Chains A and B, each alone.
Chain A
Amino acid sequence: MEIIILPLILSLLAAFTGSKINKTVWGLLSFVSLFAMVYMKQHYGIHNDGVWHNTYDVPWFSNGIHFTLGIDGLTGLMILLTNLLVPIIILSIQTNNQKSLIPLILFMQAALNGVFMAKDGLMFYIFWELALIPIYFICLLYSSKDAFKTTIKFFIYTFIGSLAMLASLIYLYLKTENHSFAYDELLSVQLNYSESIWVGAGFLFAFAVKIPIFPFHSWQANTYTNAPAQGSMLLSGIMLKMGLYGLLRWFMPMAGESIAFFQPIVILLAVIGIIYGAVIAIKQNDLKRLIAFSSLSHVGLIAAGFMTLSAVGIQGGVLQMFVHGINVVALFYIVEIIETHAGSRELSKLGGLAKFNRLFAALYLIVVLGTAAVPLTNGFPGELLLLKSVFDYNTITGVFAGLTIILCAVYMLRMYQFSMLGEGKASLKEIGLMKMIPLLILVALVIFIGVCPQLIIDQISPSIQKIMLEISNSKGVLS
C-alpha cells in the first residue's frame, strides 16, 4: 500500500509546488518507495515461498470486490524495476519548462505499482487504466509533433484492448460462486473450451496491444518517436511490461484452457514480430524509431518464450522483462542526451561523437552490446533461455527467432557506428557528470546482471513455479 500512496502524495506535492523544487529532489524522493518495497520483501519473505502474500485487503466496490494488494517474487521484481527506473526517468528530464511532467510521472509510478500488486480483477483493470492516463497526458502535452493524432490513436487502441479485458474479467466474475473478483476466486472458475477461448481472447487482445505483439503494434512507433524521452522510457521501459506481466499472471492461469488454442498463434505472431521489427529497424534513420522497432522485436521474443510454457522460457522471459526495461531506458536516455547535446537524433546528421566524450562512448557501447545480447552483458542470459525454450518448442521457429541475434547486431552496431564513430559531422556539448550518474547506474546493472543472472532467477523462481502450477491446474498443457 505504502508504495502506491507514497508516489501519489509526492505527485500531488509536485503538482502544487510546480517547478519550484529541483527535479533531482523529486527523483531522490521517488527512490524512497524502493526502500518501502525492500522492507515489504523482507517483511513477507517472498523468496522462500511462491505465495502471493496479501499486503492490504479491504472490501471496496462490494463485498465481492476487495481492494487487495499482494506481493511475491514476480510482483517484487516488477516493482523493483518500476521504482528503480522512475527516479532515473525523472532525473533524465533535461528542461525545466515541462512543469507538469514530474507529477504525471510520479502518478504513473503509483499506478504502475498498483497494476503489479493488484490481486483483484477489477482493481487490476482500474490501475491498468490509471496507468494509461498520465502517459496519455505526458505524450499529449510534450510530444514533438502532431501530438493529438498520435496520442488519440494510442489511447483508443489500448482502451479498446482494456475494455476487452474488462469484459473477460466480468465474465469470470459472474462465473464465480458468491460473485467475487478475488484472484484466487477467478482462478477457481472452470470454463469450457469455447468460453475459455472467448475469455482468453479478451485478455490476450488487451495484452497484445500493450506488449505489442506483431499486428497490434501500429500505435507504437509513432508514439515512441513523438513522445518526449521520458514518455518513451515509461512506455517501453515499464508499461510494456504490464502487458507481459498480464500475460503471465492473468491470461495464462485464468484462461489456461484456451492456451492450447492460442499457443501456436501467439508464438507464430511473436516470431514474425521479432523478425519484422528487426528488419524494419535496420534502415531507420531516427534513433527513437529505431529503438521502438528493436523493442518490438525483443518483446516479441519474450512473449514467445512465455507461451512455450516451459520453466526456462517463462523464467528467462521474466528476467528479460527486467533486462529489457533497463536496456531500453538506457538507450532512450542516451538518445535524449545525444539529442540535447548534439542537436539531433537523426543518424544522417550524427556521427563521430565518440571523440568528444570517451566515457559516454564507452557506456553507450556497453548498452548497445547489452541490447545485442553479447555474453557477460545482461541481454545474454535472458535471450539464451528464451531462444532455448522456443527452440525446444519447435526447431524451425527457434532458428527463425535466433535470427534476432544476427539482425540485432546489424542494426545496433549500425546505430552505434553512425552516431558515434566515423569522421563525424555533429559535435557533442560537454555533458555534466550529474547526467552521467543515472547512465552509470544502468550500465553497472547491465554488467552485473550479465555476470550473475542467477541472483534474479532465485528471486522469482518460487513464484514462477507456483504460477506454472496454477496454469497446469487450469489445464494440463504445461510441457
Chain B
Amino acid sequence: MIGILIVFIGAVLVLFLGLNKPEGGMKTLSSLVLFLAGVLSLLESLSILNFERLSNWAPKNMIDFSKGDLMFVSLLAFVTAAIIAIFPTVEEKGSDRLGLMMLSLTGAFMMIGADHLVMLFLGIEVLSIPLYVLAGSDKHNLRSNEAAIKYFLMGAFSTAIFLLGCAFIYGGSGSLSLSEISLRMSIVGHLSEFPALIKVGVILMSTGLLFKVSAFPFHFWAPDVYEGSPNKVTTFMAVVVKIAGFVAFANYLQAFEALASWYSKWLIILAVCTIIFGNIAAISQKTVKRTLAYSSIAHAGYLLLFLITPMKANMWILFAYSVAYALSTVVLFYFNDKYSTKKEYGFGMFSGLLKNNQSATILMVISLFSIAGIPVTVGFTAKYYLFTSAFEVSPLAVGIALLGSAISIMYYFKAFKPMFESAESNTNEAHASKILFVVYLMVAASIVFGMFPYLFERCF
C-alpha cells in the first residue's frame, strides 16, 4: 500500500514541479522517490516496519498486498528507479515522461495487489494508458508514432477481450472478488459441473493477460513496439509490464485452482510454443532490440511454465526469475541504448568493445551469461528453480525449455563476435565513455544472487 501511495504522490509531484523544467532536474527526485518506495515496501515485506493503518484504510476485498507481493513491489520500484537513473534524459522541457512512467508503475502495483477483477482491470489500464503515451513519446519520430498506435490499438483490443472474460466470469461465478470466486469454485468441486461461462471467461481473461506478457499467439505487438519506442520505455515495458503481468496472472489463476488440471495443459502447450517460437525467431534478428524483444518472448515462455506449478508455495521462484530477468534485461538494454548510433543499431555496435572498454565487456558478458542461464549467475539459479519445480508437472516441457535455452546461446553470443574480434577502423566513440555505478551494482547483484541463491527462499 505504502508503495502505491509514495509512487503516486511522487508521480504527481514530478508532473507538476517539472512541468516546464528540463527532465534532468526531476530525474534525481523521481528515482529517489522510487528508491524510497522500494526500500519501504521491502522493509514491510520483511515485516521490519508495518503500515497496518494505511492498509486498513484501503478496502480489503479490493486490494491486498501479501508479503510476497510486497517483494515484487519493491523489486519493480528498484528496477524503475534504476531505469530512470541510468538512461539518459531527453533535452526538451517537461518531465511528463518520468511522471507517466511512475504512474504506470502504480498501475503495476495495483495489478500485483489486486484481489478483485475491477482492481485488476484498473491496474492493467493504469499500467497501459501511460505506456501508450510513452511509446509515442518521441513525437517526431515516425517509428515511435507507429509503435504507439500499434500498442494502443492492440492493447485496447485485448482489454476489451479481457473485459468480456471478466463479464463471463462474473456471470458464471456471481462474484468479482478473486478470493470469493475461489471459495465458490472450491465448493462446486467437480470440473464438469462448472458452467461453460467460467471456462470461456478464463480463456478470454487469460488472453488479455497473455497479451500483456507477450506470450506466443498474442506476442505480435512486442517486437514492433519494443523496436519503435524509446529505449527507456522499451526497457520499462520489457521488465515491469512482464513481471507485473505474471504476478497478476499467477494471483488470478490461483483463484481458479479448481480448474488447474484443465488450464495447465493449455498453459503447457502455450509455454512450449512460446519458448520454441521466441528462441527460434530471435536467431535471425539483425537488430539488438528486436533480438531482446524475442528473447523476452522466450522468457515469457519459461515463466508460463511457472504457472503450471503449485504457485502459492512457489511465488519466490517467480520472484527469483523476475530478479534475474530484470537485472540482465535492464543492463543489456542499457548497453544497447549507450552504444547504438544513428546508422548502427545491429550487433555491429559492439565491434571492438574489448579493445576500447574492458569493464563494459565484462559487464555485458556476465549479463549475457545470466540471461542465458549459465552458472553461477542468478539467471542459472532462477532457471534451475523454475525448471525443477516444473519438471514434476511436465518433464517434456522442461526438456524443450532446456533445448530452447541451448538455442538461445546462438543469439545471445552473437554479440561476442564483434566484441572480441578486433574491430575495424570505425570504432564506436561511445565505447570510451564511463559506465554508471548502478550498472556495476546490478551486475554484481546478479553474481551475488547466483552464488547465494537461498536468499530468495529466506525472504519469502
A141-B420 in contact (CB<8A): yes
One of A163-171, A251-259, A283-291 at the interface? A163-171
Set of chain A residues within 8 Å of B391, measured between Cβ atoms: 167, 170-171, 174
A129-B421 in contact (CB<8A): no
A133 in the interface (beta carbon within 8 A): yes
A400 in the interface (beta carbon within 8 A): no
Set of chain A residues within 8 Å of B413, measured between Cβ atoms: 152, 155
B399-A167 in contact (CB<8A): yes
How many A-B contacts if CB must be within 8 Å?
63
- Closest Cβ neighbor of B372 among chain A residues: A159
B249 in the interface (beta carbon within 8 A): no
Set of chain B residues within 8 Å of A133, measured between Cβ atoms: 369, 374
For chain A, residues 28 to 68, give those with C-beta under 8 angstroms from any C-beta of chain B. 59-62
Set of chain B residues within 8 Å of A12, measured between Cβ atoms: none
Set of chain B residues within 8 Å of A59, measured between Cβ atoms: 454
B196 in the interface (beta carbon within 8 A): no
Shortest C-beta distance, A139 to chain B (Å), equals 11
B410-A173 in contact (CB<8A): no
A193 in the interface (beta carbon within 8 A): no
B392-A174 in contact (CB<8A): yes
> 1/0 contact trace for B363-398 toward A, CB 8 Å?
000000100001110001100100110011001001
Task: Tell me what chain B mostly uses at the interface: helix, strand, loop, or mixed.
Answer: helix
- Closest Cβ neighbor of A166 among chain B residues: B402
B402-A129 in contact (CB<8A): no
In whole angstroms, how far apart are the Cα atoms of A170 and B387 in the complex?
9
The contact of B454 among A60, A130, A155, by CB within 8 Å, is: A60
A122 in the interface (beta carbon within 8 A): yes
Set of chain B residues within 8 Å of A62, measured between Cβ atoms: 454, 457
Shortest C-beta distance, B391 to chain A (Å), equals 5
B405 in the interface (beta carbon within 8 A): yes
Known interface pairs A170-B388, A170-B391, A174-B392. Does A152 touch B410 (Cβ–Cβ under 8 Å)? yes
B409 in the interface (beta carbon within 8 A): yes
The contact of A148 among B374, B375, B399, B416, by CB within 8 Å, is: B416
For chain A, residues 355 to 411, give those with C-beta under 8 angstroms from any C-beta of chain B. none
B457-A140 in contact (CB<8A): no
Set of chain A residues within 8 Å of B381, measured between Cβ atoms: 61
In whole angstroms, how far apart are the Cα atoms of A13 and B416 in the complex?
25
- Closest Cβ neighbor of B407 among chain A residues: A156
Shortest C-beta distance, B195 to chain A (Å), equals 37
In whole angstroms, how far apart are the Cα atoms of A61 and B449 in the complex?
11
In whole angstroms, how far apart are the Cα atoms of A211 and B413 in the complex?
24
A174-B388 in contact (CB<8A): yes
Shortest C-beta distance, A37 to chain B (Å), equals 23
In whole angstroms, how far apart are the Cα atoms of A159 and B402 in the complex?
10
Known interface pairs A156-B409, A174-B391. Does A167 touch B398 (Cβ–Cβ under 8 Å)? yes
In whole angstroms, how far apart are the Cα atoms of A305 and B417 in the complex?
40
The contact of A130 among B375, B387, B453, by CB within 8 Å, is: B375
In whole angstroms, how far apart are the Cα atoms of A164 and B399 in the complex?
8
Set of chain B residues within 8 Å of A170, measured between Cβ atoms: 387-388, 391, 398
In whole angstroms, how far apart are the Cα atoms of A140 and B354 in the complex?
12
B448 in the interface (beta carbon within 8 A): no
A163-B392 in contact (CB<8A): no
Q: How many residues of B contact A (CB 8 A)?
A: 28
Set of chain A residues within 8 Å of B387, measured between Cβ atoms: 170
In whole angstroms, how far apart are the Cα atoms of A59 and B374 in the complex?
21
Shortest C-beta distance, A51 to chain B (Å), equals 28
- Closest Cβ neighbor of A128 among chain B residues: B375
- Closest Cβ neighbor of B392 among chain A residues: A174
In whole angstroms, how far apart are the Cα atoms of A152 and B453 in the complex?
29
Set of chain B residues within 8 Å of A159, measured between Cβ atoms: 406, 409
Shortest C-beta distance, A194 to chain B (Å), equals 13
> 1/0 contact trace for A150-183 toward B, CB 8 Å?
0010011001100110110011011000000000
Set of chain B residues within 8 Å of A160, measured between Cβ atoms: 403, 406
B374-A163 in contact (CB<8A): no
- Closest Cβ neighbor of A162 among chain B residues: B406
A140-B420 in contact (CB<8A): yes
A122-B384 in contact (CB<8A): yes
B405-A163 in contact (CB<8A): yes
In whole angstroms, how far apart are the Cα atoms of A404 and B405 in the complex?
39
Shortest C-beta distance, B356 to chain A (Å), equals 15
The contact of B402 among A126, A155, A167, A173, by CB within 8 Å, is: A167
Shortest C-beta distance, A58 to chain B (Å), equals 11
In whole angstroms, how far apart are the Cα atoms of A8 and B398 in the complex?
33
A347 in the interface (beta carbon within 8 A): no
A126-B375 in contact (CB<8A): yes
- Closest Cβ neighbor of B451 among chain A residues: A60
- Closest Cβ neighbor of A140 among chain B residues: B420
> 1/0 contact trace for A85-121 toward B, CB 8 Å?
0000000000000000000000000000000000000
Set of chain B residues within 8 Å of A166, measured between Cβ atoms: 402
B398-A155 in contact (CB<8A): no
For chain A, residues 131 to 146, give those with C-beta under 8 angstroms from any C-beta of chain B. 133, 140-141
Shortest C-beta distance, B57 to chain A (Å), equals 38
Set of chain A residues within 8 Å of B402, measured between Cβ atoms: 163-164, 166-167
In whole angstroms, how far apart are the Cα atoms of A129 and B380 in the complex?
11
In whole angstroms, how far apart are the Cα atoms of A393 and B416 in the complex?
47
Q: In the A-B complex, list the 6 residue pairs whose CB atoms are closest, starting with the nearest.
A: A126-B375, A163-B402, A148-B417, A160-B406, A129-B375, A156-B409
10 further contact pairs, Cβ within 8 A, besides A147-B420, A170-B388, A174-B392: A61-B453, A129-B375, A141-B420, A155-B413, A156-B410, A163-B406, A167-B391, A170-B387, A170-B398, A171-B395
B contact residues vs A (CB 8 Å cutoff): 369, 374-376, 380-381, 384, 387-388, 391-392, 395, 398-399, 402-403, 405-406, 409-410, 413, 416-417, 420-421, 453-454, 457
Would you list 13 pairs from A and B whose C-beta atoms are within 8 A, ordered by A residue? A59-B454, A122-B384, A129-B380, A130-B376, A148-B416, A148-B420, A148-B421, A152-B409, A163-B406, A166-B402, A170-B391, A171-B395, A174-B391
